[in-house]
Amino acid sequence: MSPSIHVGPGDQPELVRAVELAGGSVVSLGQADGVVWNGTRPDSLPDLPRSVRWVQLPSAGVEPWMERISATPQVTFTSAAGAYAPQVAEHALALLLAGARGIVASARQKTWEIPEHDTLAGATVAIIGAGGIGRALITQLGSFAVEVIAVTRRGHDVPGATRTLPADRLGEIWGAADHFVIAAPATDATRHLVGAPELAKMRSHAWIVNVARGSLIDTDALAEALRERRIGGAALDVTEPEPLPDGHPLWDLALITPHIANPEHALTRRLAERVHENVTRLASGEALLAQIDPERGY
């Protein structure tokens, strides 16, 4: 049977086309058994009729939606986790190279002086959260001859990683890697995953890159470590607070990009690809991609 899908809010021609190419019919909300929603605020999603059994959300991070998801247990919610992985991983790689190669320091200089710098070749890079973004980054790092330590929730082998550790062994990596990329989901359990104790164990040349959520790093502890030059540096696409206020110490201490790892012009195109896949799966009775588990928080 052709799935009946409501698409909103407003006109979403790329998403409508994705639904139709997957064999679905675009209908009003009252007739729908699925909803594809491209609104960014949970309160933008209208009350769901009893017929709705699936909702596709537009973002990979879903912490603002968790209250709504938990209150609607009869509906399967899916995120866009993994849909935006290649471009976010590309941004993480750019930030990592900018730090390790001394580009950040050079960009801020006004005199001819050689900054501390190195190459990625031969380095050990720890990727905390080896889901879609982390795995895409491992592929992109393939030409740099690095050793990759991947950290996942259960510690199952990750293709391309030299070794994989479960989350309960996370403490082992802080002194074992040259650089760190944070790509884990934001949950109560991962809040301030990187704090003063973790920063104290890092090597003096270590760079930390965050393309996940600002809450995963203790901002005050990071600022102190950077101010005292106890680590090599930090490159952050996400911060806590966000937006980062004018005059905040991190502007001078870290490389900041304003949450642009996922370019806006690519968002709808990648979301449309995920919508096509999940509508196809809904029609065939297959498991939907990126189902959200309210207990895990992602």
Q: What is the mean pLDDT of the chain?
A: 96
Q: Mark whether 136 and 229 lie in a shared domain.
A: yes
Q: What CATH number has the domain bearing residue 203? A: 3.40.50.720
The number of beta carbons lying within 10 Å of the beta carbon of residue 16 is 17
Alpha-carbon torsion angle 144, 90, 107, 235, nearest 10? -100
Amino acid at 237: D
Q: What's CA 238's distance to the chain center, in Å?
A: 10
Residues 198 and 170 in one domain: yes
CA angle centred on 79, ends 77 and 85, rounded to 5°: 165
Q: Is 192 a catalytic residue?
A: no
- pLDDT per residue as tens digits for the range 200-232: 999 999 999 999 999 999 999 999 999 999 999
Residue indicated by tokens 């209250």 = 67
Q: Are residue 74 and residue 145 in the same domain, yes or no?
A: no
Q: For residue 29, what pLDDT is reported?
A: 98
Same domain, 17 and 31: yes
Residue 293 lies in a domain: no
Q: How many CA atoms lie within 13 A of 276 on its CB side?
A: 13
* Predicted pLDDT of residue 222: 98
Q: Is residue 289 part of a domain?
A: no
Write out the residue range of the structural domain in which residue 218 sits.
85-256
If asked whether residues 48 and 97 sit together in one domain, one would say no
Residue 295 domain-assigned (yes or no): no
Per-residue pLDDT of 65-92, as tens digits, reads 999 999 999 999 999 999 999 999 999 9
Q: Are residues 130 and 223 in the same domain?
A: yes
62 and 111 assigned to the same domain: no
Measured CA to CA, the distance from residue 165 to residue 62 in angstroms comes to 25
- List the catalytic residue out of 101, 192, 259, 281: 259
Instruction: Identify whether 259 is a catalytic site residue.
Output: yes
Total domains, the chain: 2
Q: What is the pLDDT of residue 297?
A: 87
pLDDT (tens digit per residue) in 89-125 = 999 999 999 999 999 999 999 999 998 889 999 999 9
- Mean predicted confidence (pLDDT) in 254-283: 94
- From the candidates 213, 270, 274, 276, which is the catalytic residue? 213
Question: Has 17 been annotated as catalytic?
Answer: no
Token pair, residue 148, equals 């990759």
Q: What's the rounded Cα separation, in Å, for the pair 144 and 268?
A: 31
Helices 132-140 and 85-100: crossing angle in degrees, nearest 10, is 50
CA atoms within a 13 Å half-sphere pointing along the CA-CB vector of 80: 27
Given 14, 147, 224, 242, which residue is catalytic?
Answer: 242
Q: Tokens in use for 146? A: 């690095």
